[in-house]
Amino acid sequence: MSETSDTSAMNDPQTPPASAPATPAPAATPAPRATATASRGSVRSIHYTLSYLAQNAERGPKGAIVLLHDLPGGAFVWERVMPALAATGRAVYAFDLLGFGQSDKPWPADTSIWGHADCLSQAFRALGLSEITLVGFGLGGGVAQTLATRLYRDEVARLALINSYAYEYAFAPDWPFPEMAKHQDPEMAHHMKVEEEQAELRQTIPAGAAGGLSGERLNSYLAEWNSDLGKNVIMQQVRGMLPLYMNSVASDVVALDRPALLIWGERDTVTPLALGQRLASEARQARLEVVAGVGHLILDEAPDRVAMLLGAFAS
């Protein structure tokens, strides 16, 4: 098992030995549902205010399940997963990362995985979160790796990564924008109109779901970026998706000395399954669960399966 950071170009990840067969999502028994609904809260962090959805907050911050979303989503992507996680009896928090949802939208600001992790670590301390099960999806997976290995290490009891970026693979070549490397140009936001930004997202986001997205769900992903501020903030997020920043925690994730669950969509073309297979083969305590027939937007395509896996892992 290697404990050194990857120095090869992970934008073409090599597939390690095959993992266990994918588990069909339809065969999963739906996780139990809690009756409580999520409430909206906020917490001050550094110079900003972060917003979050919470269930069972009255159960206390120790042992909470903390959820971090992907780009271009927000805390809302966890709404179909949170009730089942709340049924475990633990507090559940789903954060809007800086620049997303109802959190502050500073521009410019550091919204790399390190910037997000720094902001969240202060928020977590303010809330008193300890012995948490930290769950990161996509971009949130990169942020979760930074928190679990560096900035909030002592208070992370378990780490779950869902269709996460890893090693030097920090963004997909054509998702959520086409030609992502081109969109990292700092001048891009100045030349792109909001209408052009929305049209590109509308074209590419559905490719994240193997079975496609409904128009209503697609609109929920587009809505927060449908303004001049939104355009500039999402382009800022794209500029922060840096391979060296992602790779800076790779060896620490491999050497992580606590349980790790990897959940991957079998048909994920955004963060390829090869990444999850490599993490599972190299990390000390990582277990890979492959969900058959779904793509990157696994929270839309198989929320019950994800909730069941996370609930069992956190218990």
Give the largest Cα separation in the chain, rounded: 49
In the chain, where the domains are located: 25-172+242-314
* pLDDT tens for the 315 residues of the chain, in order: 333 333 333 444 433 434 445 544 433 333 333 435 899 999 999 899 999 999 999 999 999 999 999 999 999 999 999 999 999 999 999 999 999 999 999 989 999 999 999 999 999 999 999 999 999 999 999 999 999 999 999 999 999 999 999 999 999 999 999 999 999 999 999 999 999 999 999 999 999 999 999 999 999 999 999 999 999 999 999 999 999 999 999 999 999 999 999 999 999 999 999 999 999 999 989 999 999 999 999 999 999 999 999 999 999
Report yes or no: 104 and 98 within 8 Å, Cβ to Cβ: yes
Partnered with residue 289 across adjacent β-strands are: 263
Please give the torsion angle defined by the CA atoms of residues 93, 96, 102 and 103, in that order, rounded to the nearest 10 degrees: 110
- Specify whether the CB–CB gap between 238 and 183 falls below 8 A: yes
Would you state the structure tokens that stand for residue 265, as one six-digit string?
A: 């969509």
CA 314 to CA 131: how far, in whole Å? 11
Quick: pLDDT tens for 190-230: 999 999 999 999 999 999 999 999 999 999 999 999 999 99
CATH topology of domain 25-172+242-314: Rossmann fold (3.40.50)
* Among 45, 51, 53, residue whose Cα is nearest residue 119: 45
Instruction: Say if residues 177 and 183 touch (Cβ distance below 8 Å).
Output: yes
What is the rounded (10 degree) CA torsion for 293, 8, 158, 161? -30
| Residue 295 near residue 210 (C-beta atoms within 8 A) | yes
Q: How far is CA 174 from the centre of its chain?
A: 18
**Strand arrangement of the beta sheet that strand 65-68 belongs to:** 23-24, 286-292, 260-265, 156-162, 132-137, 65-68, 92-95, 48-55, 39-45
Q: Report pTM.
A: 0.90
pLDDT in tens, 103-125: 999 989 999 999 999 999 999 99
With 0-12 / 13-18 / 19 or more C-beta atoms within 10 angstroms meaning exposed / middle / buried, residue 79 is middle
